[in-house]
């Protein structure tokens, strides 16, 4: 059984002005997501800036999210690392904190072979009980988890249940779906490819855009799964320009700016990320106006 079907939000981590975690705002964001029908919360994924958090901060944020959500929707924690032993340790800790699943990115920078990637996930899967969603994002990690490796892992380890596919390569997704059949749940890792991946049997999306408009992302997936492909397609195409604007600078710089535009004081980003360039902010605001998110100048 899939950890979730629908739209899971790749949740931002709000900060105070001094860049400490703003738990009050985090609680506000969680309640907004749940009341707007988000199907899962993904905490400390790339969008949550875990790369610039200490381990103590990451575990504190995961604990807070688990307790605040209180089983209303699944909570999935990002626990990946380019060190297998570190990924095992953080995955065990997150599991002990009560998460419903683990999102584990391919090891970055090392440029592991397919054998190395298999062994990496094998060791992690053998060390935890919670279901694992592998995360393939070659543009960030420098390596690509190939369909044959994905399917081999899904066959060999029952708790490897899904993959967040952010390669951008629809042909690769199709091959995973063809080889894997019912072995592996596929989630879009790109907001502009949700409907195409659903058409190949995908279960949903792990979405950056859902931070800004959770209800619409939920509706996009549920309309498709309910047979209303036309409506799902309309929603997908309606937000293409906004999605592009949300990635005109590296994630999560634009989505944090977008949240501030609509009135949520989520703070800035931690270095080495920097605040959004003014020309990109103008573009983002224009795309948000086109999408009906704002009606006057803001931010």
Q: Is the pLDDT of residue 298 over 50?
A: no
Rounded to an integer, the average pLDDT of 237-246 is 97
Active site members: 135, 164
Q: Is the pLDDT of residue 297 over 70?
A: no
| Domains defined along the chain, listed by start | 6-228 (3.20.20.70)
CB 14 within 8 A of CB 229: no
Q: Is the pLDDT of residue 267 over 60?
A: yes
Rounded to an integer, the average pLDDT of 99-127 is 97
Query: Left if phi > 0, otherwise alpha if psi is -120 to 50, otherwise beta: which for 67?
Result: alpha
pLDDT in tens, 8-51: 999 999 999 999 999 999 999 999 999 999 999 999 999 999 99
The predicted structure's pLDDT at residue 181: 86
CB 234 within 8 A of CB 219: no
Percent of the chain with pLDDT over 90: 96
The predicted structure's pLDDT at residue 294: 72
CA distances (Å), 216 to each of 7, 25, 161, 243, 261, in order? 9, 22, 26, 13, 18
The predicted structure's pLDDT at residue 295: 59
The number of C-alpha atoms within 13 Å of 159 and in the hemisphere containing its C-beta is 19
Q: How far is 173 from 200, CA to CA, in rounded Å?
A: 8
Helices and strands counted in the chain (H then E) = 13, 8
- DSSP secondary structure, 1-69, as one string: --S--EEEEE----B-TTS-B-HHHHHHHHHHHHHTT-SEEEESSGGG-GGGS-HHHHHHHHHHHHHHH
Helix (H) or strand (E) holding 103: strand 101-105
Q: Predicted confidence band at 293 (pLDDT cuts at 50, 70, 90)?
A: confident
CB 162 within 8 A of CB 134: yes
pLDDT in tens, 162-208: 999 999 999 999 999 999 988 999 999 999 999 999 999 999 999 99
The predicted structure's pLDDT at residue 299: 40
- Closest among 34, 37, 46 to 10, alpha carbons compared: 46
Could you tell me which residues come within 8 angstroms of residue 187 by beta carbon, excluding any fewer than 6 positions away?
8, 133, 162, 163, 164, 165, 197, 202, 203, 204, 205, 206
Rounded to an integer, the average pLDDT of 255-262 is 97
pLDDT in tens, 73-104: 999 999 999 999 999 999 999 999 999 999 99
Q: Is the pLDDT of residue 296 over 80?
A: no
CB 118 within 8 A of CB 149: yes
């Amino acid at each position: 059984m899939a950890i979730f079907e629908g739209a899971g939000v790749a949740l931002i981590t709000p900060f105070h002005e001094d860049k400490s975690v703003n738990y009050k705002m985090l609680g506000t964001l969680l309640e907004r997501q749940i009341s707007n029908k988000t199907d899962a919360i993904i905490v400390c994924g790339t969008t949550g800036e875990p790369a610039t958090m200490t381990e103590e901060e990451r575990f504190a944020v995961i604990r807070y999210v688990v307790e605040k959500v209180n089983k209303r929707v699944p909570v999935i924690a990002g626990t990946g690392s380019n060190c297998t032993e570190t990924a095992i340790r953080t995955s065990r800790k997150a599991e002990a904190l009560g998460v419903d699943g683990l999102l584990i990115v391919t090891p970055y920078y090392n440029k592991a072979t397919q054998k190395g990637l298999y062994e990496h996930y094998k060791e992690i899967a053998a060390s935890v009980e919670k279901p694992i969603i592998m995360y393939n994002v070659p543009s960030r990690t420098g390596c690509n988890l190939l369909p044959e490796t994905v399917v081999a892992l899904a066959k060999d380890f029952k708790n490897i249940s899904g993959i967040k596919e952010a390669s951008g390569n629809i042909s690769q997704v199709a091959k995973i779906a063809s080889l894997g059949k019912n072995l592996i749940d596929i989630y879009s890792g790109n907001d502009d490819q949700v409907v195409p991946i659903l058409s190949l049997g995908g279960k949903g999306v792990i979405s950056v855009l859902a931070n800004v408009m959770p209800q619409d992302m939920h509706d996009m997936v549920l309309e498709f799964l309910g047979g209303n492909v036309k409506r799902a397609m309309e929603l997908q195409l309606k937000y293409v320009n906004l999605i592009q604007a949300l990635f005109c600078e590296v994630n999560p710089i634009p989505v944090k700016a977008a949240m501030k535009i609509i009135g949520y004081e989520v703070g800035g980003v931690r270095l080495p990320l920097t605040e959004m360039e003014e020309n990109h902010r103008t573009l983002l605001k224009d795309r948000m106006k086109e999408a009906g998110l704002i009606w006057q100048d803001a931010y």
